[in-house]
Amino acid sequence: MNAQMDNSPEDNDRRMVTVKTIQQLKGKRPIVAVTAYDAAVARLVDPFVDWILVGDSVGNNQLGFSDTVPVTLEMMVHHTAAVCRAGPKSLVVSDVPFALAYRDLDVLLDGCCRLVQEGGARAVKIEVGSEAVIDKIKVLVEAGIPVVGHIGLLPQTVQVLGGYRSFGKHEQGRMRLLDWAKKLEQAGCFSVLGEMVAPAAALAIKEALEVPFIGIGCGVGCDGQILVINDILGLNEQVPGFVKRYGDLAGEIRKAVGFYADDVRAGRFPEPPRERG
């Protein structure tokens, strides 16, 4: 890994990353984002990234669920607060959990306020599957809550979709995504995130927007990239095809715990106390 980077651990004078910071990075350099779900990991990743997403992917990466649907607002507040207690300088964005954006505006506003006030998030991300959600986002922004709009594959709707697939491969789908991205920008979103958007469509969206377009599984034609931390570290046995593993933490954990177990059973741990000279 190249440690000589703007956000290296040696950079003790790094300023707090804000929504404005993220917007100003468009056209200057790629934006780097990862997920984190607890203080320990947030503390480790913070020096290297621009934003940390406390994703509802905590459900299928940390909590043992098969997808993100069972994740509740209480869970999101809990994990967001844990990440924020690490004191990250990266922008902390929290996911709005399943179906909350489709409830009454007051319920959505109250939920987002909890993520910000109790959790400590400085922005929220909302999966956008209807025009009505875009209208609500405008109100959230007017209320002072920065929002990332999420288009393309929406993991919260995977049960309706029947699985994971790419979006925007054909002209009609491409134009629909582009239209929604523009409407999200007009509603006040400081960034738009696309998931599994076809590369040609992703590039068109990036070029059409003044705000950054962040991709996951969208190819190189984006203003930045985001990945799930468990996938980066090699903690998950199965990962999407677009993921690049940068470590084998699962293997390292098995090896370390195996050595520990062997030492305990063989009487090598704990070691006898050493005599002081």
Question: Domain-by-domain residue ranges, the chain?
Answer: 19-248
When pLDDT is cut at 50, 70 and 90, the band that residue 35 belongs to is very high
Mean pLDDT calculated for residue range 159-171: 86
Cβ(205)–Cβ(213) below 8 Å: yes
Q: Identify the CA nearest to 37 among candidates 21, 54, 17, 60.
A: 54
Global pTM value? 0.93
Cβ(233)–Cβ(212) below 8 Å: no
Cβ(34)–Cβ(226) below 8 Å: yes
Q: Tell me, what's the pLDDT at 222?
A: 99
Mean pLDDT calculated for residue range 69-83: 99
Q: Is 235 exposed, middle or buried (0-12, 13-18, 19+ CB in 10 A)?
A: buried
Cβ(151)–Cβ(194) below 8 Å: yes
The one catalytic residue among 195, 210, 252, 271 = 195
DSSP state of 195: E
When pLDDT is cut at 50, 70 and 90, the band that residue 203 belongs to is very high
- Asked about 195 being catalytic, the answer comes back as yes
* Helical packing angle, 105-117 and 73-84, nearest 10°: 30
CA 210/CA 43 separation, integer angstroms: 31
Backbone angles phi, psi at 249, to 5 degrees: -65, -30
Residue with tokens 């049960």: 159
CATH fourth-level superfamily of 19-248? Phosphoenolpyruvate-binding domains (3.20.20.60)
Which has the minimum average pLDDT: 22-31, 82-91, 150-159? Answer: 150-159
Find the length of the chain.
277
Q: Mean pLDDT, the chain, as a whole number?
A: 95
In this predicted structure, the answer to whether residue 6 has a pLDDT above a threshold of 50 is no
Mean pLDDT calculated for residue range 87-105: 98
Is residue 220 classed as helix, strand or coil in its secondary structure? coil
| Tens digits of residue pLDDT in 205-253 | 999 999 999 999 999 999 999 999 999 999 999 999 999 999 999 999 9
Mean pLDDT calculated for residue range 84-92: 99
CA 47/CA 8 separation, integer angstroms: 5
Backbone angles phi, psi at 112, to 5 degrees: -65, -35
